[in-house]
Chain A
Amino acid sequence: MTDATAQDAMITADGTPLKVSLNRALRREKLRALMLIAPLLIFILVSFIFPIGDMLIRSVQNGMVSQVIPRTVTTLEDWDHTSGETPSEEVFQALTRDFMIAVERKDHTRLGTRLNYERTGMSSLFRKTGRRVDDLGEGYTDQFGDLDPAWEEPMTWVTLMGHPDWIAAQAAWDGEGAEPSFRLRDGVADVLPRTAEMYAAFAQVVQVEDEDSPTEEEPWHIVYASLYEDLQADGVDVTSLSAPILTAALEGSAAFETQSMRDGFIEIEEDWADPEVWGTIQAFSSPVTAGYFLKAVDLSLTPDGVEPVADNLTIYVELFWRTMWMSMTITFSCILLGYPIAWLMANLPDRSANLIMILVLLPFWTSLLVRTSAWKVLLQRQGVVNDTLVAIGLIGDDGRLALINNVTGTIIAMTHILLPFMILPLYSVMKGIPPSYLRAAKSLGATNVTAFRRVYFPQSVPGIGAGSILVFILSIGYYITPEIVGGTKGVFISNRIAYFISDSPNWGLAAALGTILLVVVLALYWAYDKVVGIDNVKLGG
């Protein structure tokens, strides 16, 4: 206590306490150090951390359903798909509204594509429905028109729905630039909630998407249908809007013939009557989904819960497993081939060692694609290796070996490509093992084998560790070589990921597969640290 008080009391020449002054100096130093590594830090952040984070988010993100058809999703909550019945008319009314807006914004086909990942046929269901959905509710438009032709005048609607200020601003607008954006009249949303919502949506779409004016466009049929619904609702009182035409419509519409939106949809495409279609929409309506991850491990999210996919669809578990064991085989064959070469390089005189070093490094200066394609020429049935074997009579002309477009091809080509990553750490570790140790072991009576086994090999293990980690982690994510020489049985999970990124874009699934691969690699790394210890890995002597 007294010490601390004494320290606190210590002050520097300019009068600040020593502790504060020291802290300030330290902070400045840290800041300077941070500035030095800032470019690297920012680079890693932008090119590595951020994309990985983005990938993690995409693998569960599923906002599209609730964004494109929000009303439908809300009304569908109460529906139970196990009932085996199509949802109520209310859901179809909501769907008509959502669909009309989605079609105008061209969102419905995107949603169809998204849902088609989960259920075949959704893509065309949405596309075909989109072409005809604007006819739904036409009966109401006609009936309102029969009641009073003024209903078919755009200006009737503008007067009824538009805010007086907006109507004035619109009338004063000179046609230059954008039209003033539509505003709803006060109080109309309380009396006619559905109509107000749809008319506002209509006005917005007309202004933004079509660059047209609500004063010149007759509203969509669904606006009329919404008006009918509002007028038929219990206790509706239109007096506050003081519009005679509306009061007349309130009386007149009682006699209208109702139109079922449900029948309308089913008439467009009978799939809308299928509870499974609705089950899929319901199952994927939440903004976050486990669906991609489940699919990535050969399960599927169905309306009835999680189920394994059919046997003729299982592929990803098999591919993950194949990626693992092939990467291990490649790592192991790299150790087998690399160890003697590294030993030779470490023990030969410098001149010869350098020559071998150049030979090891030479492939690095050749394009990866060229090296892989060269293996194609060597290994194919009419290739150099088979030709040689036939020429020396080891195999018959009809018994040519299948060395490429299969597992063998991938292992051979990738072992060759990754070999330097094994040799270099091995070499630098072996370089650091003093030759005198081996001589000492022998002088103490050890045979060559014992001396290698008990003295030399244990000291080279850190090199094997480093080489193995490098080769294994590189090969687990390898893409181009398996794609070219792997055929169908020698491809990795990364080839499927690439397929879902660029060929048949399903980025959610690609992200889920990538995330699983990342987790597997981290888990293996952790296990390696526990078993061997990461401190035992050396990249140099």
Chain B
Amino acid sequence: MKKTSILGTSAIIAVAGVALADGHMSSDMILVSWGGAYQASQQNAYVEPYIAQNEGVTAVWDESSSEAVAKLRAMNEAGNVTWDVVDVVAADAIRLCDEGLALEIDHDEILAPGDDGSSASDDFGDLIVSDCFVPQIVYSTTFGYRDDLVGDTPPSSVCDVFDLAAYPGMRSLERNPIANLEWALICDGVDIADVYDVLETEEGQDQAFAKLDTIKDNVIWWSAGADTPQLLADGEVVMGSTYNGRLFSLIEEQDQPVSMLWDWQMFDLDGWIIPAGLSPEREARALDFLRFATDTQRLADQAKYISYGPARASSAPLVSTHADLGIEMAPHMPTDPANAQNTFLFNYEWWADYRDDLDAKFQAWLAQ
């Protein structure tokens, strides 16, 4: 019975695909992503199956996601948008949507419903943080530490990062105020519920910077996600923050003596947007791809290649084992209950307001 219903659904999708194809979809797509293992996971989980289903369609990658806002702005000013589907972090998606550079979509109409029958907007839930944004994964910025450099009692709390007496040595933190200021306040005794209220005040900002001052001389500031894994592998730092998927590959794939410290990990979202101003043919193709690439099965498939949590609730039960290593992926997901005891979500709305100001303060503080 179940099988037939799945067949039924895919038949409907296939019919819908054909119907759309009649509306003349372009056959070339330029997809924008981050490169590396993450892009490879998208290639394996979405693009190859999509191309297998749609003969004659080609997809080309552009590894420009880190500069997506600036480049889309420039393309828009030049009146020549060359990208079709763009992978961006949620904060950038909100900014692009604000600036009218991304297409606003009706999630329930455009996206496939969940395998469990829930509507797309219910399935993604709160993760739809912008009208332009189709969430794909939940990742987190969290810490890893060197097993051989932390003595007999490995760190168990994010506040151990600020404890130079117990864990002497260098740390690596992102060269950017986001998350660092939150961690500093949490470790200075501020309750997570009050963190942003405190950070809105001048005194609260001073308090956070004062806490960071205590370790300032022992920090290497990173700007690329690959820096911390490299620094940990070289033994340059005792512990450092980075994206959890990077640490997974360092620990499980490269077998380095490093462990995860999930305490107070900061969740963030990554997903797709479609640039505004595409021709109808290209837009139809982009929407068709998006519908396929963000259905329940595809999102669950991506977790075979990288340890980021699928954004759909209905995908979670389908997460299986790693494609090469064969290990269970669920315990490596940032959303796994064992890992997610203390967490917070990147506060997009708040940072959209305070980013310009706090970033200037943070950079000035770094330069002092």
A interface residue numbers (CB < 8 A to B): 105-107, 109-110, 112-113, 116-117, 120-124, 127, 312-315, 318-319, 380-382, 405, 483, 487-489, 496, 501-506
Contact = CB atoms under 8 A, between A and B. Distances in A.
B175 A488 contact: yes
A127 B367 contact: no
A509 B360 CA distance: 12
A470 to B, nearest CB: 28
Contact of B367 (A112, A380, A488, A506): A488
Nearest to B68: A502
B61 to A, nearest CB: 19
Contact of A124 (B353, B356, B364): B353
Contacts of B236: 380-382
Contacts of A405: 220-221
Interface string B95-128: 1011110000000000000000000000000000
A332 B99 CA distance: 47
B353 A120 contact: yes
B357 interface: yes
Interface string B56-92: 0000000000110111010000000000000000000
6 contacts: A110-B99, A112-B98, A113-B98, A381-B170, A382-B234, A488-B221
Nearest to B235: A382
Which one of A121, A315, A496, A501 has the greatest number of beta carbons of chain B within 10 Å? Answer: A315
B231 to A, nearest CB: 8
Contact of B221 (A112, A312, A313, A487): A487
Contacts of A117: 356
Contacts of A116: 352-353, 356
A503 B236 CA distance: 27
B349 interface: yes
Nearest to A405: B220
Nearest to A398: B168
A351 B100 CA distance: 64
A312 B352 contact: no
Contacts of B69: 505
Interface residues of chain B: helix, strand, loop or mixed (majority): helix
B355 interface: yes
B100 A504 contact: no
Contact of A505 (B73, B223, B235, B349): B73
B238 to A, nearest CB: 12
B363 interface: yes
Nearest to B364: A315
A409 B361 CA distance: 25
A123 B353 contact: yes
B366 interface: yes
Nearest to A109: B98
Which one of B209, B349, B357, B361 has the greatest number of beta carbons of chain A within 10 Å? Answer: B357
A459 to B, nearest CB: 43
A112 B69 CA distance: 16
A122 B95 CA distance: 14
A488 B366 contact: yes
Given A483-B223, A502-B66, A505-B73, A312 B364 contact: yes
Given A124-B352, A380-B234, A382-B235, A319 B367 contact: yes
Contacts of B328: none
Contacts of A314: 364
A124 B235 contact: no
Given A110-B98, A123-B353, A505-B69, A313 B364 contact: yes
B281 interface: no
A511 to B, nearest CB: 13
Given A124-B349, A380-B234, A488-B175, A313 B361 contact: yes
Given A113-B95, A113-B98, A312 B70 contact: no
Nearest to B234: A382
Nearest to B365: A312
Given A382-B235, A505-B69, A313 B360 contact: yes
A500 B367 CA distance: 17
Interface in B118-173: 170
Nearest to B221: A488
Interface in B309-368: 349, 352-357, 359-361, 363-367
A380 to B, nearest CB: 5
B367 A107 contact: no
A120 B73 contact: no
A123 B352 contact: yes
Closest 5 CB pairs of A and B: A109-B98, A488-B366, A120-B357, A106-B100, A315-B364
Contacts of B175: 488
A263 B170 CA distance: 54
B70 A502 contact: yes
Given A313-B364, A380-B234, A501-B70, A506 B356 contact: yes
Contacts of B349: 124
Contacts of B223: 483
Contacts of A506: 356
Contacts of A105: 100
Nearest to A127: B98
Given A120-B354, A313-B364, A382-B235, 17 more contacts: A110-B99, A116-B353, A123-B98, A123-B352, A124-B353, A127-B352, A312-B361, A312-B364, A312-B365, A314-B364, A315-B360, A381-B236, A488-B367, A489-B367, A503-B66, A503-B67, A505-B73
A435 B302 CA distance: 71
A503 B66 CA distance: 7
A106 B360 CA distance: 27
Contacts of B170: 381
B367 A315 contact: yes
Contacts of A120: 353-354, 356-357
Contacts of A106: 100
A318 B365 CA distance: 12
Contacts of A121: 353-354
Interface string B188-221: 0000000000000000000001000000000011
B359 to A, nearest CB: 6
A284 to B, nearest CB: 14
A169 B223 CA distance: 60
A502 B95 CA distance: 13
Contacts of A122: 353
A504 B356 contact: yes
Contacts of B366: 488
Contacts of B66: 502-503
A101 to B, nearest CB: 14
Contacts of B100: 105-107, 109-110
A127 B355 CA distance: 15
A382 B232 CA distance: 11
Which one of A107, A113, A496 has the greatest number of beta carbons of chain B within 10 Å? Answer: A113
B358 to A, nearest CB: 8
Contact of A315 (B73, B355, B363): B363
A487 B353 contact: no
Contacts of A113: 95, 98-99
Contacts of B220: 405, 487
A496 B352 contact: no
Interface in B233-247: 234-236
A26 B73 CA distance: 48
B183 to A, nearest CB: 18
A116 to B, nearest CB: 6
A496 B356 contact: no
A315 B70 CA distance: 23
Contact of A318 (B234, B235, B367): B367
Contacts of B354: 120-121
Interface string B231-266: 000111000000000000000000000000000000
A501 B69 CA distance: 10
A287 B360 CA distance: 25
Contacts of B234: 380, 382
Contacts of B97: 109
B133 to A, nearest CB: 14
A496 B98 contact: no
Which one of A110, A113, A120 has the greatest number of beta carbons of chain B within 10 Å? Answer: A120
